[in-house]
Amino acid sequence: MPGNSQISDDDSVSNANLSKNKIKQDSSELPEQNSLAENSKLNQNVDHAEKAEIKVRKKSEETSLIETSEKEKADGIIGKVQYKLTEQQIKDMKTGPEGLTDEEAKFRFTRDGPNTILEKKKKPILKFLSYFWGPMPIMIWIAIIIEIVRLSYIDFVVLLILQFFNGFVGWYEERNAGNAIEALKKNLAPKAKVKRNNEWSTIDAINLVQGDRVNIKLGDVIPADCILGQGNIEVDQSAMTGESMAVNKYEGEIVYQGSICKRGELEAVVVSTGANTFFGKTSALVGKTNNVGNIQKVITKFTGILMVASILFVTIIFVVVLTKGNDVLETLSLCVVILVASIPIATQVVASVTLAVGAHNLARSKAIVSKLTAIEEMAGMQILCSDKTGTLTKNELTANPPFLLENYSISDIFLYAGLSSRREKGTQDAIDKCISESAEKDHNIKYDKYEVTDFIPFDPKIKRTEATVRNNENNKIFKCTKGAPQIVLSLCDYKNIEDIVSKNVANLASRGYRTIGVAISEEDDKWSMVGLIPLYDPPRDDTKETIAKALQMNLKVKMITGDQIEIAKETARLLNLGDTIYNSDLFSEDAESDDQTTVKILVEKADGFAEVFPEHKYRIVEILQSLNYRCGMTGDGVNDAPALKKANVGIAVEGATDAARAAASIVLTMPGLSVIIQAIFLARMVFQRMNNYFIYRIACTVQLLAFFFIAMAIINPKDEFTCRSNGKSCSSIPTSFSFPVIAIVLIAILNDGTLVTIAYDRVTVSKKPEQFNLSIMFLNACTLGFVALISSITLLLLCLAHMDDSSPNDFFQGFDISTFSYGEVLTAMYLKVALSDFFTLFSARTSSWFWTRAPSWQVVIAFIVATVAATLFSCYWFFNFADSGSGSIPSMQSISWRFAGFIWGFDLVFFIIQDVIKVAELHLINSYYKSKGKEAGIGGSVLSETFLQFTSKKTIIRRQTSSFIR
């Protein structure tokens, strides 16, 4: 393996090596160039004139580079970026080829600390107190101050309780959500392949120390600042330096933590970790873009609309009530409390809890969410662009009998293919593993007499590997390569064999075989084609069933593969994906410049794409998004990162590189496509919970705001109604009807406690992708709130008309309910409004009849606690204390159990009416949208709870999800 020589401060900046590497860079960078070999020949495509010119330049360049390197070393500058090494770093870097010992690594870890940038976290007490400061808490503090000024101690204490309750619930639920997210992030922690005690192992990058010998390969995120060993790599360090293009880094140069390896493979020694890295020292200067998710936009819009409406209505109430002669402070206190009860304080808490619960459930399903907003995006995903290898197929290749050319034997082709493969365990990709295991086990190939002096690992740009080999028996040096047949063929004198090779590749591809071309170069860089090795990667056992389930979810799956179009078509046929497959010619400059509209139509209708490069994936996503599709993309390689980031839902599949995982919003830890289907199922559940919450909260706000607006600004109990008991007129009847502050606060507390349980409610899962329709949401919610309002105003008028002994209300007389005092009317309306809110939840949570779906036990318990508490408060009201009431508002008085039972029945009747009107309205909305050729996105077919049961699996996924589906 390259880079096993000891790396020290002296040889890390070796002038000779640096010179030699720079000269290599100036040479032609054709794919077949062996850029890692110490004494490699110039590429065969460089003619003699070019070779002569390079030799002439070599001496002058060597002198110049030596002088420059000495100056940079003296100034402490490496790689054109100032990076001064301390004496301790120079000492620590002298790590032998066996790596550090565990004892030494433990000592250095204790000395230097973890390899991470420590976040500045707010002290727990300050974090807790922050939940009592902000727009809504400030409004409650204002109300508290007003109550202190008015010497209304009961209201003061109750408002303090409300402040503490809201702050505590917000802190507690956000903390739980934060802990959940942190736990998930630990699963996404970057890894590093490190050599300790002469053994390679994979550890969390946070445990790296100075002097650790690490392996860096294609797709890795550099885990710490490292100085490179023998060889060269290409890295994307744009996040640190702002360079838009990837740069080549050579032996002795430093690469920075957070850079991405785009090409090559070598060993390196860690120079700095944690806060001492280049990234750590400049992290404050690195800009980070936090994209606002769609669900956050909906929350902002939803909260904004309710806040504006609440402020407008409350302002009108304040002005009108003041004109009636009410006390300013008393009226202001009431209006502030009404505002607090109307504005959805708990929205962000409910959203965080709901998304965190969803993320936990997805993690149990082997899908780790790195961006919570991706849950809502996944619920609305319409198209999934899926990799073939490893996602639709098993990525368990088997080698079949090869096709041979000239006089080569089966042993020859597997010898050369094995030599041009990684054979060290843990460093192999699927092809290397298949080839090397088949060579050794099936064909008894031995490599004892061969020494690989240089190796070029697979690169997506050149699509092949190459090894420079020495035969130790005769000291003969030769090269061998394996890779894409057309690439390997282009290296050879292919005129006589092109037709037969192409014919065999096409024939094998039509039967679903992927072919690997093998060639050898024994002298003068003249390559000879040895033959073709057919590889077969069968579809996963559950893929066909998974595709069928995706279609049931109205999710279109488009296969994307770099394999030949014949292989893609055969795989698509086996999986019932469709037969409309296009190759990368569709995205050529000529094709797109001629008619972009046609290209968009073809991409939209395609079932898959073959022979594509990573940049084509980005273009596919871009086109689909331009057609207003929510698009998901799976990927595993570093070159997939741009497409993963561009997609609405970037999904890094099992075994993905760190670069792909960093770019994705969801990371799968289990192979296959079935886990994605399960993640979409769960995401649609989360969406429904949030949608139900929005409808319920709007309905509650409509009822409260409109009720107080009518009751306080329009109804005049003192002048419009008669209150007489035992022939005597009642005293202290106000000109505006209102609850005492304590009653409004109790409604707010019980409501907020019930709201949080929506995050755990049972919901249906739509067969169609979900998206918020704010118009329908507000219309539905306003209808529910309006029906509850009508019932509240109706009962209020009936109760006010039943306060006269001499002329009782006939309605209540029919139920044998005696006349009320004004205090009893207040308590009755408190119970009525509170129960209406709780009943509305059961209508808001379904788009059909309320009984069509049972609620979760959390919702049931919250409902029981809230309604029982409200009823007990009404029947045993004890919050009245002398000289500490709500000013001119009379004290509330307990009502009889008979009257409380009547209110329960009254609310239940209107709840049924509310649900009937809701169903009729949603039916009309669906009919209207259907007449316009559109879909309302409400109701419709749903998936059963057994949907996640895969008959092709030995285990049933449903068992993993039963605890949160029910």
HSE at residue 121, side-chain half, CA atoms within 13 A, is: 8
Tell me how many degrees the CA angle 669-673-678 measures, rounded to the nearest 5.
Answer: 80
Furthest CA-CA distance within the chain: 127
Q: How far apart are CA 627 and CA 46, in angstroms?
A: 47
The residues that bridge with 82 in the sheet, in sequence order, are 77
Q: How many CB atoms lie within 10 A of CB 723?
A: 22
Catalogue the E-assigned strands of 170-212: 191-196, 199-204
Q: Which residues contact 949 (CB under 8 A, 6 or more apart)?
A: 956, 957, 958
Residue 946: phi and psi, rounded to 5, are: -90, 5
| Dist. CA 218–CA 202, nearest whole Å | 16
Place of tokens 């100036």: 26
Among 580, 829, 833, 825, which Cα is nearest to 700's?
Answer: 833
CA atoms within a 13 Å half-sphere pointing along the CA-CB vector of 664: 30
Which of 691, 893, 869 minimizes the C-alpha distance to 776?
A: 691
Bridge partners for 539 per DSSP: 393
Q: Give the Å distances, CA to CA, from 205 to 90, 212, 733.
A: 21, 11, 73
Alpha carbons 308 and 306: distance in angstroms, whole number: 6
Residue type, 459: D
Q: Annotated catalytic sites, by residue?
A: 387
Return the DSSP state at 276: G
3-state secondary structure 458-523: CCCCCCEEEEEEEECCCCEEEEEEEECHHHHHHHECCCCCHHHHHHHHHHHHHCCCEEEEEEEECC
DSSP state of 854: P
Residue 368 is encoded by which pair of tokens? 């780790």
Handedness of CA 557, 559, 565, 566 (dihedral sign): negative
Mode of pairing for the β-strands spanning 403-404 and 724-725:
unpaired
CA 484 to chain centre: 35
- CA distance linking residue 227 with residue 499, whole number of Å: 48
Identify whether the C-beta of residue 892 lies closer than 8 Å to the C-beta of residue 880: yes
658-673: b (≥16 Cβ within 10 Å) or e: bbbbbbbbbbbbebbb
Backbone angles phi, psi at 516, to 5 degrees: -115, 125
CA gap 794, 390 in Å, rounded: 65
In whole angstroms, give the CA distance from residue 673 to residue 953. 13
SS (H, E, C) 612-678: CCHHHHHHHHHHHHHCCCCEEEEECCHHHHHHHHHCCEEEECCCCCHHHHHHCCEEECCCCCHHHHH
Nearest to 338 by CA among 703, 632, 612, 816: 703
Letter for the amino acid at 581? I
Nearest to 559 by CA among 509, 618, 634: 634
